[in-house]
Amino acid sequence: MKIMKTKVTFSPKIHFRLCLLGTMFLLLFHSCITEKDIKVDKEASWIAGDHHIHSRFSVSFNSKTDPLRTSPIIGGGAIYPIPMNALMARRSGLSWMVATDHGGPNHSKVNLEKAYPELILSRELVPEVIQFFGLELNSPGADHSSLIIPNDDNEAQQLALIESKFDRSEVFPIDPERNTEPRMIQALEFMNKLKPKPILIANHPSRSAPKGKQYGLYDPAELRKWNDTAPEVSVGMAGAPGHQASTLNPDNTPKPEGFRGGYSRLPTRGGFDPMTARLGGFWDSMLGEGRHWWITANSDSHVHYTEGGSDFWPGEFSKTYVHAEKSYDSILEGIRSGHVFVTTGDLISELDVSAQFGRKTAQIGGSLEVPSGTDIGITITLRDPEKNNHHKDNPVVTRVDLIIGKVTGLGPDPTHDRNPSTRVLHRFNQDNWSVNAEYKTMTYNLKNATGNLYLRVRGTNTTQLEPERDPPGENPWTDLWFYSNPIFIQVQ
């Protein structure tokens, strides 16, 4: 009897993926041996994370073979298992992440029956990373939003309930009534009554803007209404969107037709959404009303750019730092309270901003009450790490901007998107900061504060005085920024 030998071959993409998966499980097996239990850090520090990550349970549908579009194709929208995302997050220095899959008809069932069990497994395999269960909600009457569910025994059922009731793509045929702004307000009212409450973050706010327009599926009035309805749920927006590798080919050469974040009609500025990056623009108008409206950053990871996608791994390029203990509750509260700064390209790894009057001090996300006419001391300390990032560069902070704006309270026009009082109060560089190893410290004395105001900080490795529109094909690693959330000063 002659035995026939068959040689099995794979395409380069599949071969790479199989090798990567094999490596992943070897590393995970080692992790299970050496790290049996998750260690909860009871001391607050700056810990990095990503709230917008897709796995193979971000499904697609084939309308030709399945006219009713009810059979999900696993791996159709994003391709990686949740444990692989967690492993790559750990490799990139993340301490927390959120699994945020999205889909179409009956996706709540996919999340409950398939994604959640794999998340439980991922928590066991990669215990060093806090892993929240979440969803990229197909928001009624709007774009997509990251939904972060508090960690408890009912997290899976809570997510399934929200998705089944309110995700605009959950039913087929499409129901127009599920895709209206009033429906989204109902969703927020529902989430606001839950205990504990989830968090909702508007993703890629300006990406859907038509050419020549500033706003698309999100607009200022809509986001204000979200925040008015559930201020502890709808807490902010992605300042730096994902898909930042969309300007790169798999071999790292520039992709001339690619725009950072996929913002082809209204380009990002220094990798940040125009709603955040424009000085005195929408974000500053929200802060000028005294709103607790925070910004974050994420990867929006579906497929890595080296495999033909437009994404970096979680934490590879963008990081959201939260000042918190390494625990589910503390991280969630840190996000909700705005104790957050964001950075790209590992430009910095720590950022402390303090406003001080006498013995009273406020940090990022906090408030400081002072008498009228007070002088306020401001101290900024950042860590500019002496090590290479994932592009094998060691970027250096060349300038830090201290930004100030007046807080005048809620206005009569919900479409308002400017704060004319916002300005750069002071620019710091190597001539006026002190250096101690990896730390750079700078101070400023704000004299005679007579009205309510806010302070925020940004910095860059570029020479741009204001973040410029990102051209197609830009290498994202050359144009890096960090932003803090604000400190509010309340003058009595």
Contact 97, 62 (CB under 8 A): no
Cα–Cα distance for residue pair 419/452, rounded to 1 Å? 14
pLDDT at 31 over 50: no
373 inside domain:
yes
Helix, strand or coil, per DSSP, at residue 121: helix
Q: What is the spatial distance between Cα 81 and Cα 19, in angstroms, rounded to a whole number?
A: 14
Question: Does some domain include residue 5?
Answer: no
Kindly indicate the confidence band of residue 111, based on its pLDDT and cuts at 50, 70 and 90.
Answer: very high
Residue 76 burial by Cβ neighbours in a 10 Å radius (0-12, 13-18, 19+): middle
The two three-digit tokens of residue 258, written as one number:
């690619």
Please answer whether residues 415 and 221 qualify as being in contact, where contact means their C-beta atoms are separated by less than 8 angstroms: yes
Answer with the residue of higher pLDDT: 42 or 127.
127
CATH number at residue 119: 3.20.20.140
Q: Is 353 a residue whose pLDDT tops 70? A: yes
Question: Does a structural domain hold residue 4?
Answer: no
- Structural domain contains residue 66: yes
Residues in the chain: 492
For residue 137, the number of C-alpha atoms closer than 13 Å in the C-beta half-sphere is 33
pLDDT at 304 over 50: yes
Average pLDDT over residues 337-363: 98
pLDDT band at residue 41 under the 50/70/90 scheme? low
Does the pLDDT at position 27 exceed 80? no
Q: What is the mean pLDDT of residues 100-116?
A: 95
Looking at the domain assignment, is residue 401 inside a domain?
yes
Other Cβ atoms closer than 10 A to 86: 31
pLDDT band of residue 62 (cuts 50, 70, 90) is: confident
The C-alpha atoms of residue 301 and residue 52 are separated, in whole angstroms, by: 7
Picking from 65-74, 249-258, 310-319, 402-411, which range would have the lowest pLDDT averaged per residue? Answer: 65-74
Cβ(456)–Cβ(485) under 8 Å?
Answer: yes
Structure tokens that stand for 288 in this block: 């000028």
pTM for this entry: 0.93
| Domain assignment of residue 336, yes or no | yes
What is the residue range of 410's domain? Answer: 12-491
Confidence of residue 400 (pLDDT cuts 50, 70, 90): very high
What's the confidence (pLDDT) of residue 6? 38
Q: Is residue 1's pLDDT more than 70? A: no
pLDDT surpassing 90 at residue 402: yes
pLDDT, tens digit, 9 for 90 and up, residues 409-453: 999 999 999 999 999 999 999 999 999 999 999 999 999 999 999
Nearest to 260 by CA among 250, 249, 275, 270: 270
pLDDT(7) > 70: no
Give pLDDT tens digits for 221-256.
Answer: 999 999 999 999 999 999 999 999 999 999 999 999
**Count of domains forming the chain:** 1
Mean pLDDT score across all residues of the chain: 92
Question: What pLDDT, on a 0 to 100 scale, did the predictor assign at position 63?
Answer: 72
d(CA 287, CA 269): 20
Whether the CB-CB separation of 147 and 332 falls below 8 Å is answered with: no
Confidence of residue 46 (pLDDT cuts 50, 70, 90): very high
Condensed to tens digits (0 to 9), the pLDDT of residues 149-169 reads 999 999 999 999 999 999 999
Flag whether 1 is in a domain. no
Residue 161 in any domain: the answer is yes
Q: DSSP secondary structure string, 124-165?
A: HH-TTSEEEEEEEEE-TTS-EEEEE---STTHHHHHHHHHHH
